[in-house]
Structure 1
Amino acid sequence: MSIEIIFWAFFGGIVPALLWLDFWLHEDRKHPEPRNLVARTFLLGMLAVLFVLPLQKGTDVMMPGLIMPAIIIWAILEELFKFIAGWLGGMRTNENDEPVDQIVYMITAALGFVALENTLFILGPLADADIAGSVITGNLRFIGASLLHIVSSGIIGSAMAFSFYKSRKVRVVYIRRAIVAAVIFHVLFNVLILKFGGTGTILAFSAVWVGAIGLLWAFERAKKIAPR
């Protein structure tokens, strides 16, 4: 595989993720997070893919033919590792001082994950000299998979934002429930795509767009949360 193919795969995976990231960071333009923490969180999101993929492969080996359990475990792994990336990237620092910051860091981690995951998906068609296939794959993942990860991680970030000024015990409950909700959303998206053909794909894409609108609403609400 040539360096040129790898370059274009990275370009097709990372640039769209950075465009999404710019959009969401613009939503927090009045009190932006430090660029070094945003970059670190993004890179940790990318690194998470390298941990998740072997575990997902191991799941396939241990559960041959068991599609539904594998889909659930895959979703759990992705949501947990994105959460860890967001936590290590910026949420455990002193700069994490506003409710909305939780959403920013979780979305940033998700987009780092998306960047490398999409790169790997695009790499296959490019390696086979299927330019049209790589473009179609990139476009579909820019809309579908990217929004899926943004919304699912945004669910967790929103829960953390809305519980930001609550007790530690309450925050833990919010986070646990949000992770479960994110996994359910993730699983439903994958099941619709894999099991219900064209109709399922339309429903899945519609769901992530509705989720994105809901996330924008949560983002605006989080900006207004103040300590009581």
Structure 2
Amino acid sequence: MFSLITAAIAPGIALLSYFYLKDKYEMEPLRLVVRQFIFGVLLVFPIVVLQRVFSSWLTFPYLDAILAGALLEEFFKWFIIYYTVFTHVEFDEPYDGIVYAVAVSLGFASMENFIYLLNNGLSIAWIRAFLPVSGHALFAVVMGYYLGKAKFTTRKKKFLLLSLLYPFILHSMFNLILTSNGIWYISLIIPFMFVLWWIGLRRVKMAHHMVYHANSKNMGFGQD
């Protein structure tokens, strides 16, 4: 059981540590990051129930992958972040959105990973780490980046919408690839993950640039 727990949560903890330590200016209180991670863990249980209900209605597998998978998961992660930390005093720079979103998402991914490995064994742990766990982290980077933009620019509604829409689109594409079979799966998933990492790391860089721009010029956060 110890090996199972370690294999299930180690990728999530490693990725969370990576993005947490990427904060160049002011690291977030660890207690808040841990709290968001726990919220993500607890979020698995109501989502699983809702997914079973949705899946009983959606007999077409690709529609199930988009609505019961991507939409439900990204919406509830977004909901938790928005209502528990978006207005918190510690959310005081754009990169903070990435940290908190990644914490919630990797809490969710770690619990989901534990349940999956419990049912299917440890032999696929490395595949789970490379695909679903890192995928959840990178969807969250995009979500957190636009939440940071929403908080620190005047176009709040636009960026709040994008903070949900873009992760949903990326997650839907990811799920659709996983739902496909044979050569399509092999030929698409690896380049997709490389592109996803490129998108995520670019959003990290852009969030840091917004903070640097604000600190150096004292003109508020960028509008682009």
TM-score computed with the length of structure 2 as normaliser: 0.87
User: Which residue is 1:124 aligned to?
Assistant: 119
Residue aligned with 2:70, SS: helix
Aligned runs of 1:50-69 on 2, under 5 Å? 50-63=45-58, 65-69=59-63
Q: Distance in 2 between matches of 1:165 and 1:22?
A: 25
CA offset at residue 187 of structure 1? Answer: 1.2
Residue aligned with 2:28, SS: coil
Which residue, 163, 169, 172 being the options, matches 1:184?
A: 169
User: Which residue is 1:130 aligned to?
Assistant: none
In structure 2, relative to structure 1, the CA distance for the partners of 1:11 and 1:140 (3 Å cut) is: same
Residues 89 and 105, structure 1, Cα contact 8 Å, conserved in 2: no
Letter in 1 for 2:64: A
Q: Which runs of 4+ in 1 moved over 4 A?
A: none
Q: Distance in 1 between matches of 2:18 and 2:141?
A: 14
Residues 41 and 88, structure 1, Cα contact 8 Å, conserved in 2: no
CA offset at residue 30 of structure 1? Answer: 3.8
User: Which residue is 1:207 aligned to?
Assistant: 192
User: Which residue is 1:113 aligned to?
Assistant: 108
Residues 65 and 179, structure 2, Cα contact 8 Å, conserved in 1: no
Bigger mean CA offset, 201-210 vs 52-61: 201-210
TM-score computed with the length of structure 1 as normaliser: 0.85
Q: Distance in 1 between matches of 2:46 and 2:134?
A: 21
Which residue, 53, 65, 69 being the options, matches 1:71?
A: 65
Residues 38 and 90, structure 1, Cα contact 8 Å, conserved in 2: no
Q: Distance in 2 between matches of 1:88 and 1:202?
A: 39
Residue aligned with 2:106, SS: helix
CA RMSD of aligned residues (A): 1.8
Letter in 2 for 1:138: A
User: Which residue is 1:175 aligned to?
Assistant: 160
**Number of aligned residues:** 212
Residues 94 and 149, structure 2, Cα contact 8 Å, conserved in 1: yes
Q: Distance in 1 between matches of 2:19 and 2:156?
A: 24
Residue aligned with 1:149, SS: helix
Residues 193 and 201, structure 1, Cα contact 8 Å, conserved in 2: no
User: Which residue is 2:28 aligned to?
Assistant: 33
